[in-house]
């Protein structure tokens, strides 16, 4: 492989302040299409047609279909107007995702961007891609041996979530030691869930909280979260003063369970989904985590197009030996919902029905 230092170039900083670093690239010769007999099919612009497979894990969490996919497609087009995106969603089924991955390998795509349902089950599919020299990008959830990784600092997100629980208690003048705190974590097959949990636990313990119960919601299922909390509320000696919930979907299940039992712990989430933000404005949820998806999709799109063209993205940092770019995340409570509305989250989506009035109370427009 020709390693041409002169072709080394840097891409412009992405997404302004939300992106931690710029995606740096180094040219490593043009390997486009090597071993990819079925890719492209026709060369319209001289450097061939590029196909990139985007494999996302599920569709209950709204970010994937409404933000990750369209933004990824947009930034792929921006990086290479002739490039095509072949999109698949696994609907939380690891076997289905493996088939989608293998279909992309068989088709001979030029790069695969994978957000795995089960990060521990990707290695056999990965070796098939490697055998055909198809570069693979770890998107949002890390797995070993990817050519590039882009995500958020997920342990730090856990820290932010833990702090949000403590802040929510403080806002109610409650000592974190005054009662039990429960945790509803994400899916155990998702490595991010373990990071969120570790970060939140660390911060909660530092703040003196008594983590009395902890549950992993299988498949990030809001129904699982609801059922577990309902069961716990029936048998626990003491009601919780707070329930950490790893994302807005599962927080919705927790809210349903606590409302039914007429208890009102501090509840938090993640993803700044429309439902989550509405729950925050209603006072049913204290906080969520806002993650800017466009810069993450942009990092992945540019890296995929670069890798498909034989360039190597360097990333602004390295995570477990993989070139990486991280995007910043932040806590949102009712007081700063107004600051995050814009391109990613539209006020008109949040401010409907009973939430209309709340939006004007909190300056969301
Ligand atoms: C995580 C992701 C979160 C959330 C969750 C459920 O890996 O980082 O944003 O969407 O999965 O799919």
pLDDT in tens, 26-51: 554 333 333 333 333 333 333 468 99
Ligand 1 geometric centre to CA of 142 (Å):
12
Question: Which of 195, 220, 275, 293 has the most ligand 1 atoms within 8 A of CB, as the residue to mutate?
Answer: 220
- From CA 311, how far away is CA 81, in angstroms rounded? 18
Q: How far is the CA of 349 from the centre of ligand 1 (A)?
A: 21
Residues making up the chain, counted from first to last: 365
* Residue whose C-alpha is closest to residue 274's, from 174, 341, 203, 185: 341
Q: Is 185 in the pocket of ligand 1 (CB under 6 A)?
A: no
Ligand 1 atom closest to 57 (CA): 12
| Cβ atoms of 181 and 244 closer than 8 Å | yes
> Which of ligand 1's atoms lies nearest the C-alpha of 115?
7
pTM, two decimals, is 0.89
CA dihedral 244, 235, 209, 204 (to 10 degrees): -30
Confirm or reject: Cβ of 220 under 6 Å from ligand 1. yes
User: Sorting pLDDT into bands at 50, 70 and 90, what band is 343?
Assistant: confident
Residue 8 has pLDDT above 90, yes or no: no
Each domain of the chain, given as residue ranges in start order, spans 5-146+292-329, 155-290
Using the mean position of ligand 1's atoms as its centre, give its distance from the Cα of residue 12 in Å: 27
Distance, in Å, from the CA atom of 147 to the CA atom of 308, rounded to the nearest integer, reads 11
- Pocket of ligand 1 contains residue 247 by CB under 6 Å: yes
2-11, 104-113, 262-271: range with lowest mean pLDDT: 2-11
Does the CB atom of residue 58 touch ligand 1 within 6 A? yes
CATH topology identical between 5-146+292-329 and 155-290: yes
**Mean pLDDT, rounded, of the chain:** 90
Q: What is the pLDDT of residue 9?
A: 32
How confident is residue 14, by pLDDT bands cut at 50, 70 and 90? very low
From ligand 1's centre to the CA of 61, what distance in Å? Answer: 7
Looking at the predicted structure, is the pLDDT value of residue 19 above 50?
no
pLDDT in tens, 270-287: 999 999 999 999 999 999
Percent of the chain with pLDDT over 90: 86
The CATH architecture annotation of domain 5-146+292-329 reads: 3-Layer(aba) Sandwich (3.40)
Q: Do the strands 288-291 and 329-332 form a parallel or antiparallel pair, or are they unpaired?
A: antiparallel
Q: How far is the CA of 46 from the centre of ligand 1 (A)?
A: 39
Asked if the model's pLDDT at residue 11 lies above 90, the reply is no
Homologous superfamily in CATH for domain 155-290: Response regulator (3.40.50.2300)
* Band of pLDDT at residue 24, cut at 50, 70 and 90: low
Residue 101 has which token pair?
């991955």
pLDDT at position 227, please?
98
pLDDT of 2 > 60? The answer is no
Q: What is the mean pLDDT of residues 203-209?
A: 98
Q: Is 298 in the pocket of ligand 1 (CB under 6 A)?
A: no
Per residue in 240-264, pLDDT (tens digit) is 999 999 999 999 999 999 999 999 9
CA of residue 55 to ligand 1 center, whole Å: 14
């Amino acid at each position: 492989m020709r390693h041409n230092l002169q072709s080394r170039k840097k891409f412009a900083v992405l997404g302004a302040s939300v992106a931690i670093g710029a995606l740096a690239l180094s040219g490593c010769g043009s390997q486009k299409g090597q071993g990819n007999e079925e890719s492209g099919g026709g060369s319209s612009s001289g450097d061939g047609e590029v196909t990139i497979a985007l494999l996302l894990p599920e569709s209950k969490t709204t970010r994937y279909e409404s933000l990750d996919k369209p933004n990824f497609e947009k930034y792929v087009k921006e990086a290479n107007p002739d490039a095509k995106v072949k999109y698949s969603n696994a609907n939380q089924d690891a076997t289905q995702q493996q088939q989608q991955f293998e279909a992309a390998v068989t088709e001979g795509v030029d790069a695969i961007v994978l957000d795995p349902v089960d990060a521990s089950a990707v290695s056999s599919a990965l070796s098939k891609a490697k055998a055909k020299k198809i570069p693979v990008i770890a998107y949002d959830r890390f797995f070993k041996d990817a050519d590039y990784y882009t995500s958020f600092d997920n342990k730090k997100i856990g820290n932010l979530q833990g702090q949000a629980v403590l802040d929510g208690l403080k806002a109610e003048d409650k000592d974190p030691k005054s009662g039990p705190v429960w945790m509803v974590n994400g899916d155990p097959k998702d490595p991010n869930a373990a990071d969120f949990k570790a970060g939140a636990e660390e911060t909660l313990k530092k703040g003196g909280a008594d983590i009395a119960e902890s549950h992993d919601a299988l498949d990030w299922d809001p129904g699982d979260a609801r059922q577990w909390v309902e069961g716990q509320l029936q048998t626990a000696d003491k009601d919780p003063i707070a329930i950490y919930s790893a994302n807005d979907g599962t927080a919705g299940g927790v809210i349903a369970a606590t409302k039914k039992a007429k208890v009102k712990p501090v509840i938090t989430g993640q993803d700044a989904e429309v439902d989550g933000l509405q729950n925050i404005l209603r006072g049913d949820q204290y906080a969520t985590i806002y993650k800017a998806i466009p810069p993450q999709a942009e990092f992945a799109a540019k890296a995929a197009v670069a890798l498909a063209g034989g360039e190597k993205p360097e990333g602004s940092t390295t995570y477990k030996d993989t070139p990486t770019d991280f995007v910043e995340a932040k806590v949102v409570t009712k007081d700063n919902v107004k600051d995050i509305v814009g391109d990613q989250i539209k006020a008109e989506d949040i401010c409907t029905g009973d939430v209309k009035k709340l939006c004007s109370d909190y300056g969301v427009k």
